Structure 1
Amino acid sequence: MGGDLAPLEAVKGVRQYLAQSPEAHLLLLGDEAQVAPLLAEHDLPAGAYTFVHTPQVIDMHEHPTKALREKQRSSIAVGFHLLATDKIDAFISAGNTGAMLVGSLYSLKPLEGILRPTISTIIPKENGGTGLLLDVGLNSDCKPEQLNQFARMGSIYAETILGIENPRAALLNIGEEESKGNLLAQAAYPLLKSNPALNFTGNVEGRDILLNRADVMVCDGFTGNIILKLCESLFGITQQKGIDHDYFQRFNFENYGGTPVLGISKPVIIGHGISREHAFHNMILLAQKMIYTGVMQQMSI
């Protein structure tokens, strides 16, 4: 029920996914009065899903913690309960981002040894490759030890899900030299450099983000979120100006579905509020891949 275009685009995304994966079984959460007619209209195969009526909706403007506490019959609250009690294997929503993050942190405990979960975003490289940037908004203020763990989790995700062999990890900084940066960057560098689980290649600067300098780039969530929103604007500008280029098309968030929360026990994928059917389809595909590969369990320390 979450998102600006819900529930229609979510239903269309489910239909698109089931057309390619007839063996799958999905559990759909929503207001039956709104969703049931759409399921019938789009002719979803009855045996391919189970529907759970959740009459409450957490709106985008609501305070996430308060809303989760007061709206126990919302799709997000029920979804996290089902995930925490092993009734489902992964949870996807394009609803209230704050509620999804709060639910991830408090309904599912961090993996053993993980100080703080994180969220990442795909970075399209100019050479056709793919990079990963994290954190992009979950942890605005970070400690050096957290950046060290983000790099490790990001490297596992890049290798297992993105198919990047021995991914190069780097610290986003204001210069290439080891001594550059603020206190966080200066303290994080030696931790990353001495981590045997990383293929650490040093610092990268802002101009390197879209180039083939590193596969996994770590920073605090404040910096990462600004970069994420800047990258989103690139796609919007090219659309407004009628620029049709394969590279800029790769900045369309719908190609990647949503953002996974890394460092928790089960896959939780957060979609953009304006997600359409293609994004929902790709979110389900990502969840499926995360389940089958067991990528989350590999991140325990």
Structure 2
Amino acid sequence: MNIGLDMMGGDYAPLEAVKGVHQYLSASAQPATLFCIGDEQQVQPLLIEHNIPANTIRLIHAPEVIGYHEHPTKALKEKQQSSIAIGFHLLASGKIDAFLSAGNTGAMLVGTMYTIKAIEGVLRPTISTIVPKLNGATGLLLDVGLNADCKPEQLNQFAVLGSLYAQYVLGVDSPKVGLLNVGEEEGKGNLLAQSTYPLLKENATINFVGNVEGRDVFKDKADVMVCDGFTGNVVLKMAESFYDIAVNRQLDNDEYLHRFHYENYGGTPVLGVAKPVIIGHGISNAAAFKNMILVAEKMLQTNFCGIIKHAFMQAV
């Protein structure tokens, strides 16, 4: 199992990335082989400082970095020696099995779509976010920004992708799928919601429980909640603000509110593509990098991309 990690991506890279590698290696009895992709002059001294033996990782030199404000497509084309470009090259050539980065999100998405591409049958890949439930369970919301405008058929597929992820990666048995809407009754909502509902209702591969409202997001009505990326991103950013409010009010030690901290989940995978690609938060710290690696490890252990491929082959 070979996992590639962009050591230069993130506001606090490469230091926090190195510390995350150290945490992962220290906690794992049988760690994956980590391909640490970054500028040797910056990364190597940190690896030595944090006592990471050379034989436990592979350091891949990448002298260039794609900045947050660079145009994704242009930067990937012009910076072939960047950590993100090299990471996708290694992934596409089979030298690594998964690629993770907290760097330029646009570059990660462009690299995914043009290098790895979607699994056959998937109309559009999607990204999700973990939703902490009040009862201690874990939910999933998708899409949260990759597809601002959607068609009903795409939301129907997001439901399948989210359900599979909840089942095989999050460990939710027979996940309940809900359509995020402005009312519980069938027929509510805008044209997209009204057209999506019957598709979800007729989809025998998911456990559809109907519409869920905004007040249901953190309750146990649904394990997987489906919406367009515009709506999902608004909900995501609002949820992120909960933790900021908790910190400002010194409530961040509250067991439930602490579950909103991004570091607990590491990053979000691009669902529907042929190999695991995981995008981390720009302010990722060591714990977030460690958890990103663990997400990739779980996806590889469960052959999650193969599960998606099989599911969509069955649907054809």
Could you tell me the TM-score, scaled by structure 1's length?
0.99
Paired residue for 1:19? 26
* Structure 1 residue 151 corresponds to structure 2 residue 159: yes
Given that 1:22 and 1:48 are in contact with CA atoms closer than 8 Å, whether structure 2 keeps it comes out as no
Distance in 2, matches of 1:139 and 1:180, equals 22
Shift in Å, 1:103? 0.8
Shift in Å, 1:291? 0.3
Paired residue for 2:5? none
Please list the CA deviations of residues 146-183 of structure 1 after superposition, one character each: whole Å capped at 9, or x if unmatched.
Answer: 00000001000000011110000010001111111111
Distance in 2, matches of 1:242 and 1:20, equals 30
Residue from 258, 265, 281 that aligns with 1:256: 265
Distance in 2, matches of 1:48 and 1:265, equals 27
Distance in 2, matches of 1:203 and 1:184, equals 13
Paired residue for 1:61? 69
Distance in 2, matches of 1:264 and 1:297, equals 10
Q: Secondary structure at the match of 1:288?
A: helix
* Structure 1 residue 271 corresponds to structure 2 residue 280: yes
- Code of the residue aligned with 2:26 in structure 1: it is A
- Greater than 6 Å deviation, 4+ residue runs: none
Distance in 2, matches of 1:253 and 1:213, equals 23
Q: Secondary structure at the match of 1:178?
A: coil
Distance in 2, matches of 1:296 and 1:176, equals 33
Residue from 276, 283, 294 that aligns with 2:303: 294
Shift in Å, 1:285? 0.6
* Structure 1 residue 118 corresponds to structure 2 residue 136: no
Q: Secondary structure at the match of 1:296?
A: helix
Q: Is the alpha carbon distance of 1:293 and 1:198 closer, same or farther for their aligned partners in structure 2, counting shifts above 3 Å?
A: same
- Code of the residue aligned with 1:130 in structure 2: it is T
- Code of the residue aligned with 2:238 in structure 1: it is L
Distance in 2, matches of 1:207 and 1:124, equals 14
- Code of the residue aligned with 2:224 in structure 1: it is V
* Structure 1 residue 194 corresponds to structure 2 residue 202: yes
Paired residue for 1:30? 38
Distance in 1, matches of 2:138 and 2:88, equals 30
- Code of the residue aligned with 1:208 in structure 2: it is D
User: How do 1:1-301 and structure 2 match up within 5 A?
Assistant: 1-21=8-28, 23=30, 24-243=32-251, 244-300=253-309, 301=312
Shift in Å, 1:21? 2.2
- Code of the residue aligned with 2:126 in structure 1: it is T
- Code of the residue aligned with 1:8 in structure 2: it is L
Distance in 2, matches of 1:191 and 1:25, equals 42
User: What runs of 5+ residues in structure 1 fail to find an aligned partner?
Assistant: none
Distance in 2, matches of 1:38 and 1:173, equals 48
Shift in Å, 1:22? 5.1
Could you tell me the TM-score, scaled by structure 2's length?
0.94
The number of equivalent residue pairs is: 301
Distance in 1, matches of 2:95 and 2:208, equals 39
